[in-house]
Each structure stands twice: as C-alpha cells, then as structure tokens.
C-alpha cells in the first residue's frame, strides 16, 4: 500500500484556505511531500474529452503560472486536468492532484505516470477518502469543492453543457474564489458551459497574464518576462488587506491569526482572506502559522 499521512482539520498542517469552505473535509489523506498550501494555488479544470487546442492551452497556461511560483491544482482526470499537471511539471513547478477515490489508488490508471512525476517533483496527491474507497460518481462532485477550496482562483478550459468543471466553478463562487474562463468557438460543444459561465459573470481570460493581472500577482520582474510594462510594483490592496498590512508592519514580531483578528477588529475568516491576498502580493510571509512583513 502506498505511503500516506492523515492530516486532521485541527492540525497545523491542514490547508488554511480549505478550512474556510463550507463543509470542509474533517481530514485529508496525503501522499508525497506536502507543499506549503498556504502559498498561492490556482486550479485549472475542464472536460475529459478535450480538444488538442484545449490541451495545449491548459499546458501552456499551467506552465506560465507555475513559472511565476503558483501551485497548480487539478483532479488528475484525463483531458484538461492531466494537461494542467503536465504543464506545471514541464515548467519544473509544483502541482497537487485531488482524487475522488481512496488515496491508495490512482484513478484513472492511465495517469499513473503523471502521478509519479507529481510525487517526484515535490508535489502531492490528496484525497478525503481512505484507502479502498471506490471511485463512485458522487465522490468526484464532492472532490471538486476541495479543488476550488485549495485555490485562490479556478480557471475553466473547455466545459461542455454537462461538466464537472462547472461544478468546480460553482463551488469556487460559493467559496469566494475568482473564476476565470477561457473562451472558444461559439459553435463548439466543449464551450457551451464555458460561455454560460462568462455570461453569469466569470472573468474571461485568454492567457496567464490576464489571470496574474486580475489577482495582482505581477511583480516587476514577471511583468517584464511576459511583456507587460508596469510603472509601479506596489500592488493595490483591499480595505481589509490595507488594515491587516498595517497591523503586521507595526507589530514588530510574527503574529498568529488569533492575534491579528482582535488587533484588526475583524472576524477570522476576513483575516484569512486578507492574509491570502497579502501572501499572493509578496507583502508578507508565513512560517509556522505566524505572519510577518516581507521586505524582499
């Protein structure tokens, strides 16, 4: 049986963002070297019956995001999911696969080699299901809330009218995550669900820099590398981010969330969301559950 560890929701190693979602898994089973899932992560999802063009887009977008230091999350399914993992691996980035079955078995079996590469390169395979749990259809819907829950944003590439990617986007919206959609030919069935998401308010994205810009993740170096000229590298902050940034800067020592919340007079969930934004923008760093200003 594959080696794995079990992380309870009450333990420090449990992913911070996942803890905030409605109905989080009480524990997760993890194979591999667990990445710091408090670092920025973006999910890339889409149909299993992807076109060659869609697979290419997924690989390229995942590679570019991984090169900018983001962790790529997906579901290890055929099609877009596998392409996203491969793109991150090709860029020597880190990627995390979330299973809809027991942690001891890779499903589908065709992606066992991808799973091996994920583990070899410092990524992880995660499931809320113990060893021996079959790949029931409903498990994959439940799995999708974890994919979005681990991420600050979800990117949808090729979602037909009926697609698990639409469920992932729905969970993302409920969880307060950003949803980006890559558009395609209006007559192609693989884009019916994608275009419906855009009509419903999801953000259109045609390349990685669209996502990086919207999330405020473009450093000066990254901007130059992908052809964007930025006058200032100081990112824009939300009201909550500005407030917590001041609290952390003036503290003079690393602070835990339980300490930051009363100082900022905010609920813990609002603090956690703002901390994620500040981490994404490189203004703070986290170690052992405590946060301090980063002056890199």
CATH assignment at residue 62 = 3.40.50.450
Residue 116 three-state SS: helix
Residue 232 above 70 pLDDT?
Answer: no
> What is the average pLDDT score of the chain?
87
Residues 177 and 258 both lie in one domain: no
- How many Cβ atoms are within 10 Å of 223's Cβ, its own excluded? 17
Partnered with residue 153 across adjacent β-strands are 42, 178
How confident is the model over 183-226, as pLDDT tens digits?
999 999 999 999 999 999 999 999 999 999 888 776 544 444 54
Q: Please tell me the total count of domains within the chain.
A: 2
Find, among 151, 143, 216, the residue nearest to 15 by Cα: 151
H/E element, 154: strand 153-157
User: Residue 270: what pLDDT?
Assistant: 85
Per-residue pLDDT band at 38 (split at 50, 70, 90): low
Tell me which residue range forms the domain holding 254: 239-293
Beta-strand ranges (E) seen in 9-132 are 27-32, 41-46, 71-74, 95-98, 124-127
Q: What is the pLDDT of residues 67-125, one digit of tens each?
A: 988 999 999 999 999 999 999 999 999 999 999 999 999 999 999 999 999 999 989 99
Separation CA 53–CA 162 (nearest Å):
20
Specify the pLDDT at position 78. Answer: 95
pLDDT of 87 reads: 96
* Judgement on whether residues 214 and 245 belong to the same structural domain of the protein: no
Residues 216 and 79 reside in one and the same domain: yes
- pLDDT at position 36: 60
Which of these three, 221, 254, 274, is where a domain ends?
221
Residues 184 and 277 in one domain: no
Confidence of residue 235 (pLDDT cuts 50, 70, 90): low
**pLDDT score recorded for residue 294:** 73
A 10 A CB-CB count for 103 gives 25
Same domain flag for 26 and 77: yes
Question: Is 16 a residue whose pLDDT tops 70?
Answer: yes
280 and 187, same structural domain? Answer: no
């Amino acid at each position: 049986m594959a080696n794995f560890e079990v992380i309870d929701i009450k333990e420090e190693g449990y992913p911070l963002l996942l803890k905030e979602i409605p109905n989080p898994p009480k524990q997760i089973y993890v194979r591999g070297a667990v990445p710091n899932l408090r670092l920025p992560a973006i999910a890339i999802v889409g149909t299993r019956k992807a076109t060659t063009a869609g697979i290419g887009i997924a690989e390229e977008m995942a590679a570019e995001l991984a090169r900018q230091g983001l962790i790529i999350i997906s579901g290890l399914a055929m099609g877009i999911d596998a392409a996203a993992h491969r793109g991150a691996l090709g860029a020597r980035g880190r990627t995390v696969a979330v299973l809809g079955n027991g942690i001891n078995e890779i499903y589908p079996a065709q992606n066992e080699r991808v799973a091996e590469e994920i583990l070899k390169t410092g990524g992880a395979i995660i499931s809320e299901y113990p060893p021996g749990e079959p790949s029931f259809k409903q498990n994959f819907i439940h799995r999708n809330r974890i994919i979005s829950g681990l991420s600050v944003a979800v990117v949808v590439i090729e979602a037909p009218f009926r697609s698990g990617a639409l469920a992932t986007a729905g969970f993302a919206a409920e969880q307060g995550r950003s949803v980006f959609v890559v558009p395609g030919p209006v007559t192609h069935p693989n884009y019916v669900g994608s275009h419906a998401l855009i009509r419903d308010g999801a953000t259109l994205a045609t390349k990685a820099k669209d996502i990086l810009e919207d999330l405020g993740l473009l450093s000066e170096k990254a901007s130059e590398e992908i052809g964007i000229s930025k006058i200032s590298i100081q990112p824009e902050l939300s009201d909550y981010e500005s407030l917590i940034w001041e609290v952390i800067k003036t503290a003079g020592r690393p602070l835990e969330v339980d300490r930051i919340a009363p100082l900022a007079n905010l609920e813990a969930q609002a603090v956690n969301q703002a901390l994620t934004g500040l981490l994404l923008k490189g203004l703070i760093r986290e170690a052992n559950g405590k946060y301090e200003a980063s002056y890199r």
